Structure formats: structure tokens, C-alpha cells
């Protein structure tokens, strides 16, 4: 399993995302650049230039027409995927931490950080209404006064957003009424990442409390837990196998105290049903900040604190592998 190494960032990777077909991989980092790559050979297609601060999040709509990025320069930007042209600039009072298109590609949501005296907001814009963009007026802005949102994804059918908070809480916010539909607290510390399964029926959370957990999207029922010895920064669900991949490592500020060998910067594979770990992949020289499965399940990518994105194509043995129960 020889990885393809993508070198397009000068600082640590914050998020990576495949488009729906999986031919493109988007990566954003703390160096203000958003890159797009061909996932098959790791060739860089281009960059989306304009942000002036760390870019925290990226998303792409279902037909790969538009790209959305959120940054610490207090803006969320909409780009034309093909040309790299900036289509919209939505300015905020604080850093944009999460962003996402709903399934139709018409509604976007993004959340802002609680900082500099401003509280955390979850904002919804309808891209079909140019007036909202022009006036920078979301059709809905929900304050989260207690604990800021650290990760968020759209639920099935674009009815609600599933948000993870810094205290380990998970909320469902209705995209129509703005009310909190459901609320659970299964994690004891901050939720670093939420990713959905391919059909959006389940989602996996990665938390600072050293676990990743699988939930039902609609009921928020807790299904499975995957435990490790260190904070989990990201977790993803395989679209074809009962597998989840997790990436983690210590906090960036504690990294210098360990060697790569014991710093445990591997990507770890768990069986989704048995909650058993069955494999690890080494490679990064620092914590893994984000992982993502290719939509066809034949490869996965990871982005690290070392500024590299690595695309791994699975060996044939991976697909024949059966875990002995």
C-alpha cells in the first residue's frame, strides 16, 4: 500500500473532502490555501485563493459545481469549482469553524466561533436568493450561547444539521424552524469531527475523550464505540465495508515530547460491528487531523499536522479480509 503524497500546503491540514464521485479531493490548511487534487494520481488541479487566515473547513456540493470554505479571517466563501472564481463572500464576526452544503446544493450552513466577545452562531443561507448573499443576511441564525459548535454535518434530506459541541454534546438543529430537535451527550470532551455514512443514515463522531462513536442520524441513538489511548481528531465510515478509520495523536503542542515511533501517529482501522481494531497505517510525522474514505471505498486519505495529505489505495487482501469473531 504505497501512499501518494500530496505536497501543497505549508502548514497543518485542517480538513480534506472528496466530492461525490471521488475523482477530486479538496484539502484546506492553516496556510490560507484551499487546494483541489485529482485523487487518482495526486496531481494538483488548482487552488482557491482569497482567504487571509487559516482555513478551517471545506465542502463541495453534489454535482461538484461549487466549493465552500470557512476561515479564521472571519469569512465563509463560495467558489466556482472549475474556474476557482469567488462567487460569494459572507463576512462574519468571528472565525468560521464548520461549513456544508445540504444535499440539494441550494442551502449552506456554517458555524462561527465564540471569540472576541461574539458568541457562536449557526447560520443558514439559501443560495437561490441572491438578496441574502448581497445583504449578508442569513434566513436563519441560531445562537449557541453555552458551548460552541466544533463540528457539524447535514442530516438526511437536508432537514436538520447534526452539530457536535466543545463539551461533547450532540444536537440536531432544524434547518426550517431552527429549534433543537434532539440532544444527546455521549462524549465527555470536545467533539473534533463528525462524518456521515454514504447514505446519511449513520454518523461517526471523533472526540478528545479518546473515543469515536457511531450514532443513528435520525434518533441520535448511540450504536457503537471505538476506544483508543489518545485523542481522536477524525473518523470516517467505509462506504463498502463494515470498517471505520480513525486518525489522532496528541495535541500539537505536546508532540515534541515523543518520537514518531511512540507518538502513535498511525491511522487505525476498526471493525464497525465488533468494535475491534484490525489494522494500522503509519506515515505521518505528526498527529492525523483528518481522514476520509473515497466514495468507492477502495482508498482513503489522511491529512496531518505535518502539512501532507496522503492517499492510500488498499491492497487486494484488504477486500478479502474477514475478522474472526
Mean pLDDT of 137-162: 89
Residue (of 181, 172, 270) closest to 224 by Cα position:
270
Q: What is the pLDDT of residues 212-243, one digit of tens each?
A: 999 999 999 999 999 998 899 999 999 999 99
Q: What is the pLDDT of residues 236-294, one digit of tens each?
A: 999 999 999 999 876 656 655 555 555 568 899 999 999 999 999 988 888 999 999 99
- pLDDT at site 323: 74
- pLDDT at site 251: 63
Q: Are the beta carbons of 229 and 248 closer than 8 angstroms? A: no
What proportion of the chain, given as a percentage, has pLDDT over 70?
A: 95
Q: What is the pTM (predicted TM-score) of this model?
A: 0.91
Strand 191-196, strand 202-207: pairing: antiparallel
Which CATH superfamily does the domain covering 1-316 fall into? YVTN repeat-like/Quinoprotein amine dehydrogenase (2.130.10.10)
The three cell numbers of residue 57 are 473547513
- Angle CA(163)–CA(166)–CA(172) in degrees, nearest 5? 20
Kindly tell me if the per-residue pLDDT of 181 is higher than 80. yes
Amino acid at each position: 500500500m504505497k501512499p501518494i503524497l500530496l505536497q501543497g500546503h505549508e502548514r497543518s491540514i485542517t480538513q480534506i473532502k472528496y466530492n461525490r464521485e471521488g475523482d477530486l479531493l479538496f484539502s484546506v490548511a492553516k496556510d490560507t490555501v484551499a487546494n483541489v487534487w485529482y485523487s487518482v494520481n495526486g496531481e494538483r488541479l488548482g487552488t482557491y485563493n482569497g482567504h487571509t487566515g487559516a482555513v478551517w473547513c471545506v465542502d463541495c456540493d453534489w454535482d461538484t459545481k461549487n466549493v465552500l470554505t470557512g476561515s479564521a479571517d472571519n469569512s465563509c466563501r463560495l467558489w466556482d469549482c472549475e474556474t476557482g472564481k469567488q462567487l460569494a463572500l459572507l463576512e462574519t464576526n468571528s472565525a468560521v469553524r464548520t461549513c456544508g452544503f445540504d444535499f440539494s446544493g441550494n442551502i449552506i450552513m456554517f458555524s462561527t466561533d465564540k471569540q472576541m466577545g461574539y458568541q457562536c452562531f449557526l447560520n443558514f443561507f439559501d443560495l437561490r436568493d441572491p438578496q441574502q448573499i448581497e445583504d449578508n443576511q442569513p434566513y436563519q441564525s441560531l445562537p449557541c450561547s453555552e458551548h460552541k459548535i466544533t463540528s457539524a454535518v447535514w442530516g438526511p434530506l437536508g432537514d436538520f444539521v447534526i452539530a457536535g459541541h466543545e463539551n461533547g454534546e450532540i444536537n440536531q438543529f432544524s434547518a426550517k424552524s431552527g429549534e433543537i430537535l434532539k440532544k444527546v451527550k455521549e462524549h465527555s470532551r470536545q467533539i473534533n469531527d463528525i462524518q456521515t455514512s454514504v447514505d446519511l443514515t449513520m454518523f461517526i463522531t471523533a472526540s478528545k475523550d479518546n473515543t469515536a462513536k457511531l450514532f443513528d442520524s435520525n434518533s441520535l441513538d448511540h450504536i457503537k464505540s471505538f476506544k483508543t489511548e489518545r485523542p481522536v481528531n477524525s473518523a470516517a465510515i467505509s462506504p463498502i465495508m463494515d470498517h471505520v478509520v480513525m486518525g489522532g495523536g496528541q495535541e500539537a503542542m505536546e508532540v515534541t515530547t515523543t518520537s514518531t515511533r511512540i507518538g502513535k501517529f498511525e491511522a487505525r482501522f476498526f471493525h464497525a460491528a465488533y468494535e475491534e481494531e484490525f489494522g494500522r497505517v503509519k506515515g505521518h510525522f505528526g498527529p492525523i487531523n483528518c481522514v476520509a474514505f473515497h466514495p468507492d471505498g477502495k482508498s482513503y486519505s489522511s491529512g496531518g499536522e505535518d502539512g501532507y495529505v496522503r492517499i492510500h489505495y488498499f491492497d487486494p487482501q484488504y477486500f478479502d479480509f474477514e475478522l474472526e469473531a
